[in-house]
Amino acid sequence: MKIGYARVSTADQNLDLQTDALKQAGCEKIFADHGVSGAKTDRPGLDKALEHVRKGDTLVIWKLDRLGRSLSHLLSIVEDLKQQGADFASVQDGFDTSSASGKMVFSVIGAMAEYERNLIRERTMAGLTAARARGRMGGRPKSLDKSQVKVAIALAKAGELTIKQICEQVRCSRSTYYRQIATQLDHNEKTV
């Protein structure tokens, strides 16, 4: 069975062009999203269409950009369909994964997307390394400054207050205490 999916981004746009093309392509059921951005991954019409797809079915769209704006999301949907034993076709773009050439084209697109992800990862790692070389560390800043840590350590070593009371004194959470103070206490005991 061919199952169609149509989408327009704004409420004043019309679905007729897409639904007519999907009917002409042989779609028996058509699901749609009206006024929903393609950047959203959660789309009620698309979700219903994907739930309806069974092994041997084909999800048909009018054009690739109707299914998603992001290549990774598009490839994810096509991969999910493949895992279910279903195919994917785009009327305007001439893609049909039920044919050998359609499978080959999507394999090439998938390889290009993976290459792009790897390039982004490499650039990110290079940027982090360069920042570290300049003395900048990424991540969230410590919630306690050095003087607060010293006070908390002194209070903990004195042994007169509970951990909860120490946290109240230095204004930190219990998890911050264990992450920033208790680890230093353990380290100091091991080096003595």
- Whether the Cβ atoms of residue 61 and residue 15 lie closer than 8 Å to each other: no
Q: What is the pLDDT of residue 191?
A: 44
pLDDT at residue number 112 = 77
Answer whether residue 8 is part of any domain: yes
**Edge-to-edge strand list for the sheet holding 58-61:** 29-34, 2-8, 58-61, 87-90, 95-96
Tell me, yes or no, whether 125 lies in a domain.
no
Nearest alpha-carbon partner for 68 in 98, 45, 102: 45
- Which of residues 114 and 81 earns the better pLDDT score? 81
**Is 122 part of any domain?**
no
Which is higher by pLDDT, 143 or 162?
A: 162
**For the domain that residue 61 is a member of, what is the CATH number?**
3.40.50.1390
Q: What is the pLDDT of residue 168?
A: 92
Count of structural domains within the chain:
2
Q: What percent of the chain has pLDDT over 90?
A: 30
Co-location of 104 and 165 in the same domain: no
Is the domain of 60 the same as that of 151?
no
- Identify which has the larger pLDDT, 188 or 171: 171
Predicted local distance difference test score (pLDDT) of residue 72: 74
The residue range of the domain holding 168 is: 146-191
- 117 within domain boundaries: no
Specify if 59 maps to a domain.
Answer: yes
**Residue 9 annotated as catalytic:** yes
Of 3, 65, 71, 70, nearest to 32 by C-alpha is: 3
Angle between helix 146-158 and 163-170 (nearest 10): 150
In this prediction, residue 179 has a pLDDT band, given cuts at 50, 70 and 90, of: confident
| Residue 44, domain member (yes or no) | yes
What does the pLDDT look like over 26-78, one tens digit per residue?
999 999 888 776 666 678 888 899 899 999 999 999 888 888 767 777 878 88
pTM value? 0.58
